């Protein structure tokens, strides 16, 4: 097939830094830091915060506001309620802030969807949003964004990112739906009688603060021993914190936005977001993504939803069929049900179907390792793409020496558990320019697009950088039919 490597290249840039909280491991250390700052003379405190701002203010947006937030977060460590001058407050905030280079190690595993806004473009050209796994210090991963255009000839142009990156803020008053939350608790096996006591006191839509208050009230009413109560409350609050909303600054460029780990389940990162433009039967469009939360030992499949790439809702996925990495949602319902690709056993591709986005109970095996270049495992490379002949699924196969290649399969439009065709040879394998990286001999994608008869595939090179390839859809379908 006539696969064209575009030469467009996105490398990790260690100059792209954001600010994040610095949290000392022990409260005593925080108190010592504050004590040392409080011992400074007023003029010395003013001089020091002046130096901090001179050095860092040009690297960030809204840095002063963040210093004030950090001061408010640690002010309970102060020994008195005596008022402090603004310079000392800002200085304290700066000591509990740190920079983080979010893509210093890698910028890879891309996914691509059409941008919600397409105005101002020449005929045959469309604007897209590219999402990437950005990996920095400690191998912590987050979700970054870029935008660009592709024309009728398949020429890809990426917009240059700005010099800033700012993590979104967590929406403090975001609300939980009580029936959905109770269903998730039941899936986790948390069905103790105390659950009714806690949730009977809550409205149909409640906040995290409401939940914490209800738990405290139930504890006083039941007088449950601490050793029995703590695991119960810990599990409920962990579920709540894994389901949250974040908001980016409406004035920010999309390249300045990042979905940075927030919940305890994401301590070691958010990995491999597979975005899809999802259309309901009534024409309503939302953007969904499956991703993986990692806390250093346990992988937890998660679900992202957004209408505008400014506000995002992160949710847990539940049900016995939710396991392992590599979930990918179909872009529409099939026969009234949601459908999703999965790889529960880490080796084969399954199709799941469900009436609810957050709960998945059944799966059917559709693809097993068959060709030598995929004998180790086969998985998906993003959400299926609808074509007149079937659902086009880009796959990844792992062969000898842990070499990753990208293949393809075709599934029936009405019954995606029926396989209509598979490629016998890889669509894309790492060439000599793509073999070196954090994980060598890998080409991998988390989603592609179809434009003007061309399949546009963003893909990562050896878990380090990202590039693009294009191939005529007709060539792929012909090979699949054969």
Average pLDDT over residues 18-38: 95
Give the pLDDT score at 224: 67
Scanning 201-324, the segments in alpha helix (DSSP H) are: 208-222, 226-242
For CA atoms 366, 371, 377, 381, give the dihedral sign. negative
Q: Which of 428, 370, 422, 368 is nearest to 404 (CA)?
A: 428
d(CA 240, CA 212): 10
Proportion of the chain in helix, strand, coil states, percent, rounded to 5 = 25, 35, 40
Tell the burial category of 475 from Cβ atoms under 10 Å away from its Cβ (0-12, 13-18, 19+).
Answer: middle
For 132, 274, 376, 377, 457, the CA distances from 403, given in Å and listed in that order, are: 21, 22, 10, 11, 19
- CATH class of the domain at 4-12+102-164+266-481: mainly beta
Q: Calculate the average pLDDT of the chain.
A: 95
Specify the pLDDT at position 482. 58
The pLDDT tens digits of the residues spanning 265-300 come to 999 999 999 999 999 999 999 999 999 999 888 888
Nearest CA among 104, 161, 109 for reference residue 133: 109
> Parallel, antiparallel, or unpaired for β 169-170 and 244-247?
antiparallel
The pTM score is 0.94
DSSP 374-436: GSSEEEESSS-EEETTEEEEEEEEE-GGG-EEEEEEEE-SS-TTSEEEE-SS-SB---TTTS-
400-426, pLDDT tens digit by residue? 999 999 999 999 999 999 999 999 999
Closest CA to 16 of 256, 309, 260: 256
Using DSSP's 3-state secondary structure scheme, residue 49 falls into helix
Average pLDDT over residues 115-141: 96
pLDDT tens for residues 306-335?
Answer: 999 999 999 999 999 998 889 999 999 999
Instruction: Kindly report, residue by residue over 88-104, the tens digit of the pLDDT.
Output: 999 999 999 999 999 99
Which 8-state DSSP code applies to residue 345? T
Give Dmax (Cα) for the chain. Answer: 80
Return the CA Rg of the chain.
Answer: 25
pLDDT digits (tens, 9 = 90+) for 441-464: 999 999 999 999 999 999 999 999
Interhelix angle 193-200/178-187, nearest 10 degrees: 170
């Amino acid at each position: 097939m006539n696969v064209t490597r575009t030469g467009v290249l996105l490398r990790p840039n260690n100059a792209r830094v954001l600010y994040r909280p610095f949290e000392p491991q022990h409260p005593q250390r925080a108190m010592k830091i504050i004590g040392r700052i409080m011992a400074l003379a007023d003029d010395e405190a003013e001089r020091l915060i002046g130096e901090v701002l001179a050095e860092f203010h040009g690297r960030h947006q809204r840095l002063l506001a963040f210093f004030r937030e950090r001061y408010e977060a640690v002010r309970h460590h102060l020994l008195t309620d005596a008022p402090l001058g603004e310079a000392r407050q800002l200085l304290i905030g700066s000591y509990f802030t740190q920079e983080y280079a979010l893509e210093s190690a890698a910028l890879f595993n891309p996914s691509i969807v059409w941008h919600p806004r397409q105005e101002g473009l020449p005929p045959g050209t469309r604007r897209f949003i590219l999402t990437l796994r950005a990996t920095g210090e400690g191998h912590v991963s987050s979700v970054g964004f870029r935008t660009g255009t592709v024309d009728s000839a398949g020429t890809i142009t990426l917009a240059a990112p700005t010099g800033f990156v700012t993590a979104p803020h967590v929406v403090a008053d975001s609300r939980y739906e009580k029936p959905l939350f109770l269903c998730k608790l039941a899936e986790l096996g948390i069905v103790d009688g105390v659950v009714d006591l806690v949730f009977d006191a809550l409205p149909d839509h409640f906040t995290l603060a409401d939940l914490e208050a209800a738990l405290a009230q139930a504890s006083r009413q039941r007088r449950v021993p601490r050793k029995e109560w703590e695991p119960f409350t810990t599990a409920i609050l962990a579920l709540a914190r894994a389901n949250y909303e974040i908001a980016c600054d409406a004035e920010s460029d999309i390249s300045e936005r990042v979905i940075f780990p927030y919940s305890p389940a994401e301590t070691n990162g958010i990995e491999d977001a597979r975005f899809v433009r999802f259309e309901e039967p009534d024409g309503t469009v939302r953007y969904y993504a499956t991703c993986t939360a990692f806390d250093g030992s346990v992988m937890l499949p998660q679900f992202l939803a957004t209408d505008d790439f400014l506000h995002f809702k992160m949710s847990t996925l539940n049900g016995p069929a939710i396991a392992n990495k590599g979930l990918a949602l179909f872009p529409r319902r099939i026969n009234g049900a949601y459908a999703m690709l999965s790889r529960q056993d880490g080796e084969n591709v399954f199709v799941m179907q469900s009436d609810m986005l957050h709960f998945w109970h059944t799966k059917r095996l559709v693809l097993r390792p068959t060709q030598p270049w995929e004998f180790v495992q086969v998985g998906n490379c993003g959400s299926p793409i609808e074509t007149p002949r079937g659902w086009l699924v880009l796959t990844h196969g792992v062969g000898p020496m842990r070499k990753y290649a990208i293949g393809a399969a075709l599934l029936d439009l009405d019954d995606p558990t029926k396989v209509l065709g598979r490629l016998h040879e890889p669509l894309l394998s790492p060439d000599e320019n793509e073999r070196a990286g954090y994980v060598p001999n890998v080409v991998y994608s988390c989603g592609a697009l179809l434009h003007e008869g061309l399949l546009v595939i963003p893909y990562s090179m050896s878990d380090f950088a990202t590039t693009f390839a294009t191939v005529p859809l007709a060539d792929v379908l012909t090979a699949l039919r054969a």
